[in-house]
Amino acid sequence: MVFSLSKARLRSWQMSDTESLARYANNRKIWRNVRDRFPHPYTLADAEAYISTTQSDELLISLAIEVGGEAVGCVSLKRGQDVARLSAEIGFWLGEPFWGRGIITEAMERLVEEGFDAHGLQRIYAYVFEWNLASSRTLVKAGFVQEGCLRRSAIKDGQIIDQYLFARITQD
Ligand SMILES: CC(C)(COP(=O)(O)OP(=O)(O)OC[C@H]1O[C@@H](n2cnc3c(N)ncnc32)[C@H](O)[C@@H]1OP(=O)(O)O)[C@@H](O)C(=O)NCCC(=O)NCCS
């Protein structure tokens, strides 16, 4: 799967991305805004394990964001199961040197389109930590709507926090 965007390319992960994945993912500012299963520090072994997962997990569509020939970030869809099988959670992060250029918003828009058109999804959603204004903004720019606030629903970095639920459905 390869998509050309205006400032980046989206493509499948390859084992040769291990080094760049570990380098850009190894950032506390990224870790602080994602689930704890995203490791910190982020080692080469962690990168290798993640790339293997992208190749074996049938519910996961994970694409590398490639800029200047290297993988500098990730956009993903994790499909639900049972009655939630037409829904997916979107995940995204970008290497800090590339922030503020609109790369992630365009990547999210493209992946959402793929999720709806090629994979038959009806709903794509994300949970955002209360302090993550950049993520909320990118989701709104990518057409997501804030559906609610899940009060005191997460513990991150030693703090109990609210999470905002954002979603986009096919009719939006
Ligand atoms: C979220 C993330 C991907 C955004 O990347 P980015 O390159 O800055 O995204 P974009 O340039 O496409 O858009 C960012 C928007 O947020 C805005 N923004 C950035 N920081 C902000 C802040 N502190 N308060 C309010 N808005 C903010 C920017 O101004 C921009 O909006 P604009 O285009 O209207 O000016 C990046 O910060 C990241 O990787 N964060 C860590 C991982 C993460 O949070 N993942 C999402 C988990 S739900």
Domain encompassing residue 140: 2-169
Give the chain's mean pLDDT.
98
**Cβ–ligand 1 contact at 108 (below 6 Å):** no
Distance of alpha carbon 41 from alpha carbon 64, whole angstroms: 20
Please state the domain count of the chain: 1
Confidence at 96, pLDDT banded by 50, 70, 90: very high
One-letter amino acid of 124: I
pLDDT 10s digits, 34-68: 999 999 999 999 999 999 999 999 999 999 999 99
Tokens 């057409």 sit on residue: 143
**Cβ–ligand 1 contact at 144 (below 6 Å):** no
pLDDT 10s digits, 153-171: 999 999 999 999 999 999 8
- Check residue 83 and report its DSSP letter: G
**Cβ–ligand 1 contact at 161 (below 6 Å):** no
Please tell me the distance between residue 94's alpha carbon and the centre of ligand 1 in angstroms: 9
**Is the CB of residue 99 less than 8 Å from the CB of residue 128?**
no
Give the relative orientation of helices 133-141 and 103-117 as an angle to the nearest 10 degrees: 50
Tokens linked to 92: 């995204």
pTM summary value: 0.97
Domain with residue 146: its CATH number is 3.40.630.30
